[in-house]
Structure 1
Amino acid sequence: MVSQVTSKYLKSSYRALSLLNQPCLTVAQIKQIQSHLIISGTIADPFAAGKLVGLFTLSFQSNLSHAFDLFCLLPHRSTYVWNTMIKAFAEKNEPTRATSLYREMMKNGFLPNNYTFSFVLRACADLSELYLGLVCHAQAIKLGWEGYDFVQNGLIHLYATCDCTDLARKLFDISSNRDVITWTALINGYAKAGQVVIARQLFDQMPEKNVVSWSAMITGYVQVGLFKEALELFNDMMITGFRPNHAGIVSVLSACAFLGALDQGRWIHAYIEKNRMELDTVLGTTLVDMYAKCGCVKMSRRVFEEMPCRDVFAYTCLISGLSNHGQSANAIELFMRMNDEGIKPNEVTLMCILSACSRVGLVKEGLRIFESMSTVYGIEPGLKHYGCLIDLLGSAGMLEEAKQVARKMPMEPDSYVLGALLNACRVHGDVNLGKEMVERLTERSLDHSGVYVLLSNIYASVNRWDHVEKVRKGMEENKVKKVPGCSLIEVDGMVCEFVAGDRSHVLMEEIELLSIGIDKHLKSRCFDEDDITAEQDYLEHIANE
């Protein structure tokens, strides 16, 4: 009788173990297997327990809570089980729990292996926890695991992430088996540190590239403001035959936004739709921002409405775009909708909505929002918010009230605040207050060219031309140089840059002749509404010639 019962349990145990290798199991099915293992006593087998924990962690329906509860109840734990749980936390964006579990593993007397170190080092990189990473490095050397590929790549990624590019480079140079992950980790580190020249040199030397390495280099260019280079590299990647990933598309859309490269941005949007990429909050917000900065507010709003989930960043981007393109009323309406949906604004959102109020002269609404920052939203106003408030009051001609705000601020006003007050002086021709603001800016060594130009314009607005001349001479004596104006235009997918005073363009003579022709024609004619079409035809005729 006993042998029959034993045989029954063994068969049940064997069946449960065989089920552990079945693909695409649901959480309910995995829990049934767990019941079989508990009843048969096979749960005490470290291998079976490890496989079971692994199934729970891999299930997309699981949030790791059940897996961790099971892990804590296991009578026997192997290094494999510890690794499985640490890996799960590291890969499911819970690096703090991964490092905590690693410390507990060491306290319980379990020695880590090369897999343990690769998971823990990833968690350390996500947390930028350099000290624990150094401890892991020392332990890897002591236990003889430093030379393994996973460990070396993890260490290079950690040091590169923590801005220790020298340490990362030393490990890279002594590495005997560099793969694409090794190269990409170092490139990413140099790019993050702003050393894009070295990053590009390494990128060009790579024996083999993948989409991650391309995206890392594109992102590096965007981070340091080299947007044209980012677009050029993205086009090279597409020509080479690589399909961009999520990170690469987000970065290149940011470059399009800053350059105003609308055609390129539209192409990428079409690529997203064609490949049915998920319009998550990051990708959706980047598209909203790109269209808004390129002046396509309708498309920006359309993408916003198509997003399945909208957060504070998506709302802020659209509010900013609406405000910057003369749709302040719509921006305020969107802000109210945001509140109705229970999404709490952040500092940037409030700054954008205050700017929107300033543009349409809604002084009472702007003051109400400013006062509600700390009482309703729990955000203490910063210098930028005070600057927006002063701009709001100054634009409405309430210069004395704006001046009182600047005086009663809980912090020292900076160039943004004083500049807002100075600009209000220019609009309303208050020479004395404008001169006072310039003196205060000069005391803070913030007397850049823009300040002098504003003061000069204030004097010019009240016909004090002798004072205008003095300001200009003062600029020359103090060797203050005005930053030249710059404009960008996209033609046939190429972004062209024009800087005031720059004559290096290959078609400079043709550009000058065209501008002279347009200028003469405009001076010789007075337009009414019926002449607009004819004038456009004439300009096209000149351009064709």
Structure 2
Amino acid sequence: MLPRLRSDRKALVLLGSCLTRPRRSSGELKQIHAHLLISGGICDRFAAGKLISSFVTVDLHYALLLFRCLPHPPSTFLWNTLIGAYTSRNQPLSAFSLFSRMLAAVRLPNNYTFSFLLRSCIAISSLFVGQELHALIEKLGWENYDFVLNGLVHLYASCGCMGDAHKLFDVCHHRDVVTWSAMVNGYVKGGQIGFARELFDEMPERNAVSWSTMITAYAGVGMFTEALDAFNEMQVAGVEPNHAGVVGTLCACGFLGALDQGKWIHAFVERNGMELDRILGTALIDMYAKCGCIDNADQVFEEMIERDVFAYTAMISGFSNHGQSEKAIEMFARMEEEGVKPNEVTFICILSACGRLGLVELGKHFFESMGRVYGIEPGVEHYGCLVDLLSRAGLIDEAQKLIREMRIEPDSYVLGALLNACRVHGEVEVGKDIVESLVEMGLDHSGVHVLLSNMYASSFRWEDVRKVRREMEENKVRKVPGCSMIEVDGVACEFVAGDQSHPCMDKIILTVKSMDKQLKSFGDDNCLTHLSNL
């Protein structure tokens, strides 16, 4: 048996300086290692432990080699040091491999070991492994330690087992903000937004993570007004938004057209020096494009250091929707030149741009290149865009042929594109056949019947118009009312046709009538606002 040696003071002083120095040199640590080997100080458990702890931050592979070559059995602290290092580097499988060797070496884990392993288990989303760890935790008596219990709550919540998570949560006496946030996030992932909000309101302390969880949850399920409300509450609470919170709020701003609030967030990003990475940059591009500021979106795009397919797709979509289809096509070409591979959504956007410009041959080229060049199987949305492109160009027969030869069943979007073309080009009988197909598929919503009625009216077939309207009444098919949205003082206000419930409706009607009168004085019949339904 090797004698227990104590390392000399010089080696310990050097190790201590390496541990406290912000940037440690691997070469310096290896010199100390050599000194300990020559002097026999490596047999000192304390010195060996300090050396391995130092190597973990600069050269984990070398730390593992040193760990394996120790002349004495490693302590639980050293096992935990390496397991924790692999966990922190998001290498959960390596952490579990080391844990298996720890058990084989008959070294029992402690509460710190389990806290690292539970984090690794969350990283691989393995409920089975987590349950095995839970059983071992109870067997060894570590289940009452706060950060072990919190880790178990986080594990079950992350895996969607909210029943088990809540049982542990109820017996946890020292819940930290991470535990609360894990529960809220678990309910959010399960689609139980109401439960998530109730729990969120009960939180004794909320940080940027918990706030961003709620904001992202609201935005993810289309509750954009609630997302902005949560963002405003966070500001009142004095909590600065993090990256996820900013992205979620920008998403809500885009859908609500809340440009002022979106600009404020952009200014916040610049003021706080937040990195304009691919996710944040794309969120800003999408927000500006949806709020009608395509130039701002383009400026953000050019400022981005790294641009991925999502950033390019957001710009292509923005240009296309703003009537700048030429720029959309140019952006697609630039994307290809920079070696960024388009995805399914990119092709939907570029095909729509071709449709607006009537570029039939170019649209066909893009459609064919999906499978031939990029290996992307066209979906029903892509067929719908191509049908729309052909229909807009008056190629009704070719569009019908494409629908017949489709590898997948056409949906309401595909048939609706052809139906709209029939209205434009006066193909009433073809339109009637399409409506009958939609009825058989159960996709005959109110817009389809209204479109058919308008087609009959354009052909002066008034008896058919009355027949369609009568069938709509008998089947209680109601036209979905249109709506518009405007931002006033940072608040997005929605107006639905026929709804006069707004508290300022009298002033709104008076203002719109005044605008209508002014437009009439200009003699621009195309801009007249009709208010007979108000």
Q: TM-score, normalised by structure 1?
A: 0.88
- 2:327 matched to 1:297? no
Q: Is contact 2:325–2:354 with CA below 8 Å preserved after alignment?
A: yes
Q: Is contact 1:358–1:392 with CA below 8 Å preserved after alignment?
A: yes
Cα 1:476–1:134 change in 2 (3 A) is farther
Match of 1:513 among 510, 514, 520: 510
Q: Is contact 2:160–2:186 with CA below 8 Å preserved after alignment?
A: yes
Match of 1:333 among 307, 330, 335: 330
Q: Which moved more, 1:290-299 or 1:464-473?
A: 464-473
Amino acid at match of 1:343: V
Q: Is contact 2:328–2:353 with CA below 8 Å preserved after alignment?
A: yes
**Which residues in structure 2 correspond to 1:43-442 (within 5 Å)?**
48=47, 51-59=50-58, 77-103=74-100, 105-106=102-103, 109-442=106-439
In the TM superposition, what whole-angstrom CA distance separates every residue of 1:187-220 from its partner, at most 9, and x where no partner exists? 1222222222222222222222222222222222
Counterpart of 2:531 in structure 1 is: none
SS at match of 2:498: coil
Q: Is contact 2:187–2:195 with CA below 8 Å preserved after alignment?
A: yes
State the distance in 2 between where 1:447 and 1:49 align.
76
1:225 CA displacement: 1.5
Counterpart of 1:473 in structure 2 is: 470
SS at match of 1:21: helix
State the distance in 1 between where 2:16 and 2:272 align.
38
SS at match of 1:496: strand
Q: Is contact 1:95–1:127 with CA below 8 Å preserved after alignment?
A: yes
Amino acid at match of 1:19: S
SS at match of 1:111: coil
Structure 1, gaps ≥5 residues long: 1-5, 536-545
Q: Is contact 2:225–2:252 with CA below 8 Å preserved after alignment?
A: yes
SS at match of 1:364: helix
Q: Is contact 1:194–1:223 with CA below 8 Å preserved after alignment?
A: no
Q: Is contact 1:13–1:40 with CA below 8 Å preserved after alignment?
A: no
In the TM superposition, what whole-angstrom CA distance separates every residue of 1:448-491 from its partner, at most 9, and x where no partner exists? 22222232233233333322222222222222232222222111
In the TM superposition, what whole-angstrom CA distance separates every residue of 1:480-524 from its partner, at most 9, and x where no partner exists? 232222222111111111112212111122222333344455446
Amino acid at match of 1:87: G
SS at match of 1:85: helix
Match of 1:455 among 452, 465, 477: 452
In the TM superposition, what whole-angstrom CA distance separates every residue of 1:415-457 from its partner, at most 9, and x where no partner exists? 2222222233233222222222222222221222222223223
In the TM superposition, what whole-angstrom CA distance separates every residue of 1:57-96 from its partner, at most 9, and x where no partner exists? 545xx7x556566666667544434433333343334445
Q: TM-score, normalised by structure 2?
A: 0.89
Counterpart of 1:542 in structure 2 is: none
Cα 1:328–1:123 change in 2 (3 A) is farther
1:231 CA displacement: 1.0
1:287 CA displacement: 0.8
Cα 1:229–1:384 change in 2 (3 A) is same
Cα 1:47–1:471 change in 2 (3 A) is farther
Q: Which moved more, 1:482-491 or 1:248-257?
A: 482-491
Cα 1:325–1:173 change in 2 (3 A) is same
Amino acid at match of 2:22: C
Q: Is contact 2:352–2:385 with CA below 8 Å preserved after alignment?
A: yes
Amino acid at match of 1:364: E
Q: Is contact 2:348–2:382 with CA below 8 Å preserved after alignment?
A: yes
Q: Is contact 1:19–1:33 with CA below 8 Å preserved after alignment?
A: no
1:327 CA displacement: 1.1
Amino acid at match of 1:262: L
1:393 CA displacement: 1.4
Q: Report % sequence identity.
A: 59
**How many residue pairs end up in the alignment?**
522
SS at match of 2:486: strand
Quote the RMSD (CA, aligned, Å): 2.8
Match of 1:493 among 490, 494, 503: 490
1:526 CA displacement: 1.0
State the distance in 2 between where 1:206 and 1:94 align.
32
State the distance in 2 between where 1:74 and 1:121 align.
27
1:15 CA displacement: 4.2
State the distance in 1 between where 2:143 and 2:499 align.
55
Q: Is contact 1:165–1:190 with CA below 8 Å preserved after alignment?
A: yes
Structure 2, gaps ≥5 residues long: 529-534
Q: Is contact 1:20–1:52 with CA below 8 Å preserved after alignment?
A: no
1:398 CA displacement: 1.4
SS at match of 2:432: helix
Match of 2:15 among 10, 14, 17: 17
Q: Which moved more, 1:424-433 or 1:235-244?
A: 424-433
Cα 1:434–1:276 change in 2 (3 A) is same
